[in-house]
C-alpha cells in the first residue's frame, strides 16, 4: 500500500493493523485495532457468551469443538498458506503446526468430561458420615495472549483447553500474525454462530496489557520471559491467575550409545525448523566424546543441505535478525568457530543454517534464547557433564536425549518440563501430555489433563449422609465426644 513499508513490520493505518510477508512485504491482510474500550466491550460480550457456552455442557461443547476440528482439517491448506503469507514460514511447517493444533482440539473435546466432570471422592474415616464430591467448573472468561512464531498451535493449545472446560475466550494474537488469529476466530464462529464464545482483539502490546486489566478471570500467556513479567505484574493488580509459557534454550544430550545419524537428523530438525524461531527449539547440543565427531559431521552435512526459501523461510520479526547476528559474533569473538554458516549467513530477512563449536558456556549463544537457525555443539566427557551444562541456565522448557541404556534416566534428570527421547519436539503434538516449563520458561500447563484443569476451578462439595459419630465441628460436642475423637485419632494415626 505504502512505498515506505518495511517487510514483516506490522503497519497501523486508519485504525487497522496491516500484516505483511517478512520477505516480500506483500500484504497478508488487515484487522481492526482495538483500544481499551473495545477490549472492555469484548470482555463484556464474552461474559454472557460464557454462560451460554458453559450451559451447553461437556457433550454440547464436545460436538462443537469436534466440528471446529473438522473444519480446520478440511481447510488446512488454506490456513497453512495464510500462515506462510504473514509469518513467512514454509507451508509444510504450517501444515505440521496445524496437525498438532487439531490433535489438541480433538483430545480436549473428547476428554474434558472425564477429566473435569463431577465425581465422588473416597470416604475418609474421620468424616465418614459425609460423602465428598469434586468437579471442575469453568472460570468464566479466559484471556489468551499469543506469540507470532507458531500463530496456529500456540494459541489453539490454551484456547482448546479453555473452551473444552467451558470458558469463553478473548484472544490477543501477536501484532505480527493477527490475520491467522482472526481466521481461527472466524472459523470457530462458523461452528458456534450463536454467541461470541471466541473473540479476537488486535493491536500492539498495550492491547494485551488492557486484556490483563479487563476483568478476565484468567490469562494464558505465551511469549517472551520479559513480557511474561509485565503480564504477571498487570494481572497481580486484580489477582488474576496466569499460566505462563515463556522462552527457552533447550538442550539435546547425545549419549555414547545413541543412534548418531538419527540424533543428527533430530538436532537439525529441532534447531532449524521454522528458521529456529521455536520456543522448544534445540539451541544447544552436548555430545559425549566418543560420538562427538561423527555427530558433528552428520549435523553439518544435513544442515548444509537445507535450502533458503524452501525448508528455511525468512525471519518473521525483523528485529530478531540482530539478536541472531549478535549471538554469532559474540560466540566467534569468544573463541568459538562456525563449522557451518557464520556471520555471512545473516542476510536479512533470511539466515542460513549456522553450526557453532567451541563456544564458551558463558556466551550469549549458549545462555540466551537465539531464536534463529543456529546450533551450538559442545563436546562433553559423559552424560553427567552434559546434564550439569544443560541444567545450568535459568530456562527450563523442553529438551531431548539420544541414547539407549540411560536415555530415560538422563531425561528425568533434565531440568525441564518436557523431554523427547530419541526424537525432538515430539511432546508438543501429543494430546495426552501437559506442555510447559519451569524457571524462566514459566509455569502452569497447557495440553493434556493438566492443561484442562488449568482452565477450571476445583469445586469441592461435601454432603451429609448420616449423623456424626465423631462430631468435632460443632459447639454442641461433649467432652466425652472429644475424648472419643482423641482415641480414634491415636488409633488411626498415632502409630507407624
Ligand atoms: P512477546 O513476549 O514479545 O509477545 C507475546 C505477546 O504478548 C504478543 O501478543 C504481544 O503483543 C503481547 N504483549 C506485548 N507486550 C505486552 C504487555 N505489556 N502486556 C500484555 N501483552 C503484551 O513474544 P513474541 O511474540 O516475540 O514471541 C516469541 C517468544 O515467545 C519467545 O521468547 C518464545 O520462546 C516464546 N514462546 C514460548 C512458547 C511456549 O510455549 N513456552 C511457545 C512459543 C513462543 P505484540 O506482538 O502486539 O507486541
Mean pLDDT of all residues in 230-239: 97
Cβ atoms of 245 and 435 within 8 Å: the answer is yes
Residue 208 beta carbon below 6 angstroms from any ligand 1 atom:
yes
pLDDT tens digits along 24-44: 999 999 999 999 999 999 999
Tell me the three cell numbers of residue 460. Answer: 469441592
pLDDT tens digits along 397-428: 999 999 999 999 999 999 999 999 999 999 99
Minimal CA–CA distance to 370: which of 298, 274, 302, 232?
274
Q: Cell 509455569 sits at which residue?
A: 443
Mean pLDDT of all residues in 291-309: 98
On whether both 189 and 212 belong to a single domain, the answer is yes
Residue 199 sits in a domain whose CATH number is 3.40.605.10
On whether both 56 and 167 belong to a single domain, the answer is yes
Residue 315 sits in a domain whose CATH number is 3.40.309.10
pTM: 0.95
pLDDT tens digits along 138-189: 999 999 999 999 999 999 999 999 999 999 999 999 999 999 999 999 999 9
On whether both 88 and 161 belong to a single domain, the answer is yes
Give me the chain's average pLDDT, please: 96
Q: Residue 49 pLDDT > 70, yes or no?
A: yes
pLDDT bracket for residue 8 (50, 70, 90): confident
Better-predicted residue by pLDDT, 245 or 469: 245
Task: Specify which residues 328 forms β-bridges with.
Answer: none
Range with lowest mean pLDDT among 124-133, 154-163, 322-331, 352-361: 124-133
Q: Which domain does 342 fall in, by range?
A: 250-394+398-429
On whether both 187 and 264 belong to a single domain, the answer is no
Residue 146 beta carbon below 6 angstroms from any ligand 1 atom:
yes
On whether both 207 and 327 belong to a single domain, the answer is no
Residues 6+ apart with CB under 8 A from 233: none
Q: Is 345 within the bounds of a domain? A: yes
CA angle at 71 for the pair 137 and 91, rounded to the nearest 5°: 115
Q: Residue 217 pLDDT > 50, yes or no?
A: yes
Distance 252 CA to ligand 1 centre (A): 24
Nearest Cα residue to atom 5 of ligand 1: 223
On whether both 374 and 471 belong to a single domain, the answer is no
pLDDT bracket for residue 14 (50, 70, 90): confident
Q: CA-to-CA distance for 422 and 398, rounded, in angstroms?
A: 14
Residue 416 beta carbon below 6 angstroms from any ligand 1 atom:
no
Q: Is 2 within the bounds of a domain? A: no
Tell me the three cell numbers of residue 271. Answer: 534447531
Q: Is 335 within the bounds of a domain? A: yes
Pocket test for ligand 1, best of 8, 31, 146, 147 (most atoms within 8 A of CB): 147
Other CB atoms within 10 A of residue 256 CB:
15
Q: CA-to-CA distance for 189 and 253, rounded, in angstroms?
A: 44
User: Number of folded domains in the chain?
Assistant: 3
Residue 129 catalytic? no
On whether both 41 and 125 belong to a single domain, the answer is yes
- Counting every residue written for the chain, the total comes to 496
On whether both 177 and 89 belong to a single domain, the answer is yes
Distance 292 CA to ligand 1 centre (A): 35
Cα 220 to Cα 155, 161, 169, 487: the distances in Å are 9, 11, 10, 49
Q: Is 5 within the bounds of a domain? A: no
On whether both 213 and 318 belong to a single domain, the answer is no
On whether both 59 and 39 belong to a single domain, the answer is yes
pLDDT tens digits along 382-397: 999 999 999 999 999 9
Distance 299 CA to ligand 1 centre (A): 30
Q: Is 461 within the bounds of a domain? A: no
pLDDT at 7: 81
Residue 212 catalytic? no
Distance 294 CA to ligand 1 centre (A): 37
Residues 6+ apart with CB under 8 A from 261: 298
Backbone angles phi, psi at 394, to 5 degrees: -65, -25
Cα 367 to Cα 250, 314, 426: the distances in Å are 10, 24, 23
pLDDT at 157: 98
Q: Residue 5 pLDDT > 90, yes or no?
A: no
On whether both 195 and 260 belong to a single domain, the answer is no
pLDDT bracket for residue 3 (50, 70, 90): very low
Q: Is 61 within the bounds of a domain? A: yes
Q: Residue 58 pLDDT > 70, yes or no?
A: yes
Q: CA-to-CA distance for 91 and 68, rounded, in angstroms?
A: 21
pLDDT at 334: 96
pLDDT bracket for residue 222 (50, 70, 90): very high
pLDDT at 9: 82
On whether both 205 and 281 belong to a single domain, the answer is no
Mean pLDDT of all residues in 73-79: 98
pLDDT at 2: 41
Q: Is 351 within the bounds of a domain? A: yes
Mean pLDDT of all residues in 466-473: 92
Q: Is 438 within the bounds of a domain? A: no
pLDDT at 168: 98
Amino acid at each position: 500500500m505504502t512505498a515506505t513499508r518495511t517487510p514483516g513490520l506490522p503497519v497501523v493505518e486508519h485504525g487497522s493493523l496491516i500484516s505483511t510477508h517478512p520477505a516480500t512485504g506483500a500484504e497478508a491482510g488487515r484487522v481492526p485495532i482495538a483500544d481499551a474500550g473495545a477490549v472492555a466491550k469484548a470482555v463484556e460480550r464474552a461474559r454472557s457468551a460464557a454462560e451460554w457456552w458453559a450451559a451447553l455442557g461437556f457433550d454440547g461443547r464436545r460436538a462443537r469443538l469436534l466440528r471446529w476440528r473438522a473444519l480446520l482439517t478440511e481447510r488446512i491448506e488454506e490456513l497453512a498458506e495464510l500462515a506462510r503469507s504473514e509469518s513467512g514460514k514454509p507451508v509444510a511447517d504450517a501444515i505440521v503446526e496445524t496437525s498438532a493444533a487439531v490433535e489438541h482440539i480433538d483430545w480436549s473435546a473428547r476428554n474434558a468430561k472425564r477429566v473435569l466432570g463431577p465425581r465422588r471422592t473416597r470416604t475418609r474415616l474421620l468424616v465418614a458420615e459425609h460423602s465428598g464430591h469434586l468437579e471442575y467448573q469453568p472460570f468464566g472468561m479466559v484471556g489468551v495472549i499469543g506469540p507470532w512464531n507458531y500463530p496456529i498451535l500456540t494459541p489453539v493449545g490454551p484456547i482448546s483447553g479453555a473452551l473444552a472446560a467451558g470458558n469463553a475466550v478473548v484472544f490477543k494474537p501477536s501484532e505480527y500474525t493477527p490475520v491467522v488469529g482472526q481466521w481461527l476466530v472466524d472459523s470457530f464462529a462458523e461452528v458456534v454462530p450463536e454467541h461470541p464464545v471466541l473473540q479476537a482483539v488486535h493491536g500492539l502490546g498495550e492491547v494485551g496489557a488492557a486484556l490483563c486489566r479487563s476483568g478476565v478471570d484468567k490469562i494464558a500467556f505465551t511469549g517472551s520471559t520479559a513480557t511474561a513479567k509485565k503480564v504477571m505484574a498487570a494481572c497481580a493488580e486484580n489477582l488474576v491467575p496466569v499460566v505462563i509459557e515463556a522462552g527457552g534454550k533447550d538442550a539435546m544430550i547425545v549419549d555414547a550409545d545413541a543412534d548418531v545419524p538419527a540424533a543428527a537428523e533430530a538436532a537439525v530438525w529441532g534447531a532449524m525448523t521454522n528458521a529456529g524461531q521455536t520456543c522448544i527449539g534445540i539451541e544447544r547440543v552436548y555430545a559425549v566424546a566418543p560420538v562427538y565427531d561423527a555427530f558433528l559431521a552428520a549435523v553439518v552435512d544435513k544442515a548444509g543441505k537445507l535450502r533458503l526459501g524452501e525448508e528455511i523461510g525468512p525471519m518473521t520479526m525483523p528485529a530478531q535478525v540482530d539478536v541472531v547476528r549478535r549471538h554469532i559474533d559474540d560466540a566467534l569473538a569468544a573463541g568459538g568457530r562456525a563449522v557451518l554458516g557464520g556471520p555471512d549467513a545473516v542476510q536479512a530477512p533470511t539466515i542460513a543454517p549456522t553450526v557453532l563449536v567451541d563456544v564458551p558456556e558463558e556466551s550469549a549463544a549458549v545462555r540466551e534464547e537465539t531464536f534463529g537457525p543456529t546450533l551450538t555443539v559442545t563436546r562433553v566427557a559423559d552424560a553427567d557433564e552434559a546434564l550439569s551444562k544443560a541444567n545450568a541456565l535459568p530456562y527450563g522448557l523442553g529438551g531431548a536425549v539420544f541414547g539407549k541404556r540411560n536415555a530415560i534416566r538422563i531425561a528425568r534428570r533434565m531440568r525441564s518440563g518436557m523431554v523427547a527421547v530419541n526424537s525432538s519436539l515430539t511432546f508438543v503434538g501429543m494430546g495426552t501430555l501437559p506442555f510447559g516449563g519451569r524457571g524462566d520458561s514459566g509455569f502452569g500447563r497447557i495440553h493434556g489433563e493438566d492443561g484442562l484443569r488449568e482452565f477450571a476451578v476445583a469445586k469441592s462439595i461435601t454432603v451429609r449422609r448420616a449423623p456424626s459419630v465423631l462430631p468435632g465441628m460443632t459447639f454442641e460436642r461433649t467432652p466425652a465426644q472429644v475424648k472419643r475423637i482423641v482415641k480414634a485419632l491415636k488409633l488411626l494415626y498415632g502409630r507407624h
